[in-house]
Amino acid sequence: MNPPFERVCIVGVGLLGASLGLALKRRHLAGHITGVGHRQSSLDVALERDAIDTASLDVAEGARDASLVVIATPASLVTSRLDILLATCPEAMVTDVASTKAAICEHAGATWPRPRRFVGSHPMAGSEKFGAAHGRPDLYEGAVCLVEQGTDLDSAARKAVVALWTAVGAEVVDVEPRAHDAMLACTSHIPHVVASAVATLAGRRGDIRKLVGNGFRDTTRIAGGRPEIWRDICLTNREAILAGLGEFMALLNDDFMAALRDGDGGKLERFFAEGGAARCKALAREGDE
């Protein structure tokens, strides 16, 4: 029986790209996987771990015969890779894994012919670790993968992208790119900004190693992510992050800080109660409410 994806090209063989290759291999979903990267050392690790079958340092060369291409680079590099792929393999189905979607999908919408065979994706999986050495075949199992919806998309390409993420264990959720970025600004990007700010604030107090509690560990865990990745996420979702941070600062100034200055215990209690209730609602499974 032939695999559903005969020739796959994964552009970027870091944690997400290598994990996808391993997942495809474990489930016998791809006939051949080519990995593309800009460092031979990273490609060698992916080859050693059997995440890919062959390697290339050139996007056009690696993707030339692919039926499915997954761009697993930082968000800032996706549009340039899309331009190369459009010129190299316009018939291939293409998706990505970037944490921001509007700028990428709008670029594809303006440059790719309709119906568009690039369909944006965002699998919400990962870790503070990075690189092919930390790739895991189960990384996407149980994760949510947000997949672009729109009237200009090629229906067969979108079905293939949905099938890809479903096959590696993810739950696919349809999303419009700008709505994606506005929501992720609040649920992922701003939390990372806040975690970094809290860690920096504490670090400026001096040596705090013997004074660190679980609250600090829990709140700042994600601050250990790669700075260049989060730089690119912020720059490619600048408007939504700025808008969300404006609301965040107003919430602190107008609600919490005002209540603290006034010594208003009732308002402080309501502030924490609202936050606790919002967290419980956000993390509740369907049917629990």
Three-state DSSP at 2 gives coil
pLDDT for the residue numbered 1: 62
Domains of the chain: 5-175 (3.40.50.720), 180-283 (1.10.3660.10)
* The residue to which tokens 């293409």 are assigned: 94
- Averaged pLDDT, 139-161: 94
**130 band by pLDDT with thresholds 50, 70 and 90:** confident
More confident residue, 170 or 126: 170
Burial of 91 (0-12, 13-18, 19+ CB in 10 A): exposed
8 A C-beta contact, residue 45 and residue 70: no
Q: Is the pLDDT of residue 87 over 60?
A: yes
CA distance 271 to 256: 7
pLDDT for the residue numbered 46: 94
CA distance 70 to 244: 30
pLDDT for the residue numbered 190: 96
- Averaged pLDDT, 135-146: 94
Dump pLDDT digits (tens) for 225-270. Answer: 889 889 999 999 999 999 999 999 999 999 999 999 999 999 999 9
- Averaged pLDDT, 91-117: 95
Question: Which two tokens mark 25?
Answer: 């291999």
8 A C-beta contact, residue 66 and residue 54: no
Q: Does the global pTM surpass 0.75?
A: yes
